[in-house]
Structure 1
Amino acid sequence: MTEHAIVSPEEWIIARKELLKKEKELTRLNDELSRQRRQLPWVKVEKSYRFEGPAGTESLADLFDGRSQLIVYHFMFAPGWAEGCTGCSFIADHIDGANLHLAPHDVSLVVVSRAPLAEFEPFKTRMGWRFKWISSVGGDFNYDYHVSFTKEEVARGQVNYNYGMSDHAAEDLHGISVFTKDAAGDVFHTYSSYARGCDLLLGAHNYLDLTPKGRNETSTMNWVRHHDRYDDGRLVPLTVNSVAPNASGSSCCSAEDHA
């Protein structure tokens, strides 16, 4: 910090305007990328998926809750875990605020994990989250959308994740999947993204990127803790950042450095 360049206000304005040109270029590129994302073809969902939630068993179509668009966040919480992935929890901390604006915009958002409902509900209570979190236990949903993998796949050391074979082999990884439902009730898969493709959900990153120290990390999100494990506003030692137990060697999505 003390070695940083110190200039006059006039010189700072010149430098700032140069950076502004690049910021505007990035904004236009992001707008174009979003347009192309909306133009992707759709795939009709033919399989019948069942989920367990607080209100009982629901189908994929039920999750739309009367709306035509559905976002699913695939949260890493496998059967037998006592708490969720820290990176997924970081993303989940952003959901309730966004949900205030999504429902009026014809969008439902749910979180899906492979663990039974009873296993992650205490963790949800601990974190103070209000969003809808449901279980896909016993079904193919997580496997079909490439966020869960069999023990045999993991043992081979590579899994089909993020549209290619990945060495980041674990039974559960994270991602986003988006669906739409037409007037006839047919459901279509429109988009999925994985690994650092989920970064766009992390508003806290945008705040940090404005600051002189930025994200201040040595590897992707290695500083993130469950929000009740920071010490008086400061980072606790990494050893306190527990990995979910009985995870069969899987690591938190915050450890993923691949794009």
Structure 2
Amino acid sequence: MKIETLEPETNKSEANPRVVPEAEWLVARKDLLTREKELTRLRDEVSRHRRELPWVKVDKDYIFDGPDGKETLADLFEGRSQLIVYHFMFAPGWEEGCKSCSYLADHFDGANWHLPHRDVTFVVISRAPLTELEAYKKRMGWRFKWLSSYGNDFNFDYHVSATQEEKAKGKMFYNYRTDDLIGDEMPGLSVFYKDENGDVFHTYSTYGRGLDILVGAYNFLDLAPKGRDEDHLDFTMDWVRRHDQY
């Protein structure tokens, strides 16, 4: 896996403000506030629809290798009824985890102080062996629980790792459609529920831009005059580095 190096950047998109009296600014700001409130209401509606999705019972017995030894998917709930899994791109033999997933992962520990108090357990799962995950986790200084799905079908069943058949065809089912294979590993997030009988259900998965909601740094940048300032880059997140490589 190639290690990115920081190259000098030239900002091609500069803030180009229209300077007006404060009274005129206030009119424009109130107009934007109306649209912001519309977006908030729409987001609330979408979240409600998400919660109303039907569930799929998980019948396969997945065994993960983690810091507490071998654990099943049901074990990962740790006494809670809801489980959120981030699918971190880290294949066996990679020298380090995906830099974009690492950017997202920098946001996890802060949220994870609070999630257990809303009946949610959060974990990260990758295909690389546990020893490789733990070494990278130590380097990054993260605290969240990271488990290996090495040797089981979890990543393939939730469509974040290409199967041998998909590799041979050059096509992968990802983000609910089949498209050209752009990588053996892809990012995603899946949510599960465990009922009082111990049965586990898959309730939701999201991929691609659906993960945008997890990136607090992007939310800050969206408030700034230049925004994310990525239009001139070769690809989204091209500027991102692992936090020890800036």
In the alignment, which of 86, 104, 124 is matched to residue 91 of structure 1? 104
| Matches of 2:110 and 2:199, distance apart in 1 | 29
- 2:174 corresponds, among 153, 161, 168, to 161
What letter matches 1:220 in structure 2? T
Partner of 1:11: 24
Runs of 4+ off more than 6 Å: none
Partner of residue 185, structure 1: 198
Q: 2:139 aligns with which of 126, 129, 133?
A: 126
Which runs of 5 or more residues in structure 1 are unaligned? 231-259
Q: Counterparts of 1:6 and 1:21 in 2: how far apart (Å)?
A: 22
Counterpart in 2 of 1:25?
38
The aligned counterpart of 2:163 is: 150
Letter in 1 for 2:202: H
CA contact (8 A) 1:82 1:120 kept: no
Which residue does 2:217 correspond to in 1?
A: 204
* Percent identity of paired positions between Structure 1 and Structure 2: 64
* Structure 1 residue 122: Cα displacement: 1.1
1:74 aligned residue (72, 81, 87): 87
The CA deviation at 1:2 is 6.8
Residue 56 of structure 2 is aligned to residue 43 of structure 1 = yes
* Cα shift readout 1:78-119 (whole Å, capped 9, x = no counterpart): 000011001100111010000011001100000000000011
Q: Which runs of 5+ in 2 are unaligned?
A: 1-13
Counterpart among 211, 221, 229 of residue 237 in structure 2: 221
The alignment partner of 2:189 has SS state of strand
Which of 81, 106, 110 pairs up with 2:123?
110
Q: Give, in whole Å, the separation in 2 of the partners of 1:64 and 1:36.
A: 24
Report if aligned partners of 2:15, 2:226 keep a CA contact under 8 Å in 1: no
Alignment correspondent of 1:255: none
Instruction: Measure the CA separation in 2 of the matches of 1:108 and 1:3.
Output: 44
Q: Comparing 95-104 with 149-158, which one deviates more in the overlay?
A: 149-158
Report the CA distance between 1:167 and its aligned residue: 1.9
Deviations 1:195-247 (A, max 9, x none): 111111111111000001111113322211101111xxxxxxxxxxxxxxxxx
SS in 2 for 1:138: coil
Asked whether the 8 Å contact 2:74–2:198 carries over to 1, the reply is yes
RMSD: 1.1
Shift of 1:154: 2.3
Q: Which amino acid aligns with 1:18?
A: D
Deviation at 1:3, TM superposition (A): 4.0
User: Which residue identity is paired with 1:110?
Assistant: V
Aligned counterparts of 2:109 and 2:81: Cα–Cα separation in 1: 20
Q: Deviations over 1:15-47 (max 9, x none)?
A: 111111110000000000000000000000001
Structure 1: distance between partners of 2:82 and 2:179: 30
What TM-score, normalized to structure 1?
A: 0.86
Given residue 179 of structure 1, which amino acid in structure 2 is its aligned partner?
A: F
Preserved CA contact (<8 Å) 2:160 2:188: yes
TM-score (norm 2): 0.91
CA–CA separation in structure 1 for the residues paired with 2:163 and 2:195: 33
Q: Is residue 15–residue 225 contact of structure 2 (8 Å, CA) maintained in 1? A: no
* Equivalent residue letter for 2:199: D
Q: Distance in 1 between matches of 2:209 and 2:41?
A: 21
